[in-house]
Amino acid sequence: MKNKAKDTAFRTLIDRLIDRIGFRSGVRLLFGSILLLGVAGAIADIRPGTWLRYFDLDREYTVPALFSGCLLLAAAWESFTAASSKRLGGWAFALAAVFFEMGFDELLMIHERIEQATGVDWQILYLPVMGFAGIAWLLVFIQLRDRQQRRLWIAGAIAWTASQLFEAAEWGWGAESKIALPGYLYLVHVEELLEMSGSSFFLLTLLLLNGGPPMSRK
């Protein structure tokens, strides 16, 4: 009986070690990719007009835009999985829908098209969506019990909030400036990298969560 208990404990330890190694590898892969995209984007600004334009952080339909959109779609899938498996409550379905919309928005330039059609800053038009996303984020956060998951979830919110502040600063804080402010190029780089980092934090949280047991319901 004791040997069986020791064997079970050993297997559990090995499983946790494998999960930890896998998680760390995922962190390195995600943030290593973000770093490389940031470097490539900076070089693209120095050498415009070359094939590096596909890594320009201030253009759409590029490698960074594709990567950013895929991160959000992956987070949408993991959020849906967490809700379906009862690891999270029903609000995770709502959050999955938000991530899904954000992902396709990033890939298809939806918010830019809406802004051009209406003449109103897209951040103002999207305030209801942002408010809904904030409520969903908070209700999911309350359900997280693991400290690491909560920290990653908070980091994702901080990164995304900061990215939107940088976006607002680029164009005069909603003053509808038609000319980008001084330092725009630097601001947009930080903004895009923060967005990718925030999405990565959300994705990592959900990946960790989906590797654990379902949420207990009393």
Distance CA 197, CA 26 (A): 13
DSSP string, 97-140: HHHHHHHHHHHHTHHHHHHHHH-S-HHHHTHHHHHHHHHHHHHH
Q: Which of 13-17, 75-79, 149-153, 203-207 has the lowest mean pLDDT?
A: 13-17
- pLDDT tens-place string over residues 169-208: 877 665 555 555 666 778 889 999 999 999 999 999 999 9
Q: Is the pLDDT of residue 39 over 80?
A: yes
